[in-house]
């Protein structure tokens, strides 16, 4: 019986520790790359600016993500 409780607890912990994925990407546009942040719920945010390199576009996407603390907080509130 104790083993069943332990298995149930482990199973519950695994279900409640699902990971959320936020995708940062750089898409070719004009003479450079556009930054994109994609959230687990399917919402995407694109930059208006075009960056000369992929690295700069990814860095811009990361900075944009940091400018959206309310969006990040909702990830914790949504639960599994």
Q: Is residue 14 part of a domain?
A: no
pLDDT number for residue 15: 52
List the pLDDT tens digit at each of the 80 positions of the chain. Answer: 455 444 444 444 455 556 678 899 999 999 999 999 998 888 899 999 999 999 999 999 999 989 988 988 887 776 55
Q: Is residue 12 part of a domain?
A: no
Quick check: pTM over 0.75? no
**Domain that residue 29 falls in:** 19-75
Rounded-to-10 torsion of CA 65, 52, 48, 26? -50
Look at phi and psi of residue 42 and say left if phi exceeds 0, alpha if psi is from -120 to 50, else beta: left
pLDDT number for residue 7: 47
The structural domain count of the chain equals 1
pLDDT number for residue 79: 55
């Amino acid at each position: 019986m104790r083993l069943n409780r332990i298995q149930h607890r482990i199973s519950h912990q695994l279900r409640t520790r699902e990971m959320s994925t936020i995708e940062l990407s750089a898409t070719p546009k004009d003479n450079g790359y556009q930054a994109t942040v994609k959230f687990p719920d399917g919402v995407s945010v694109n930059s208006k600016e075009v960056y000369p390199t992929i690295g700069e576009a990814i860095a811009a996407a990361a900075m944009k993500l940091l400018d959206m603390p309310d969006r990040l907080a909702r990830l914790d509130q949504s639960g599994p």
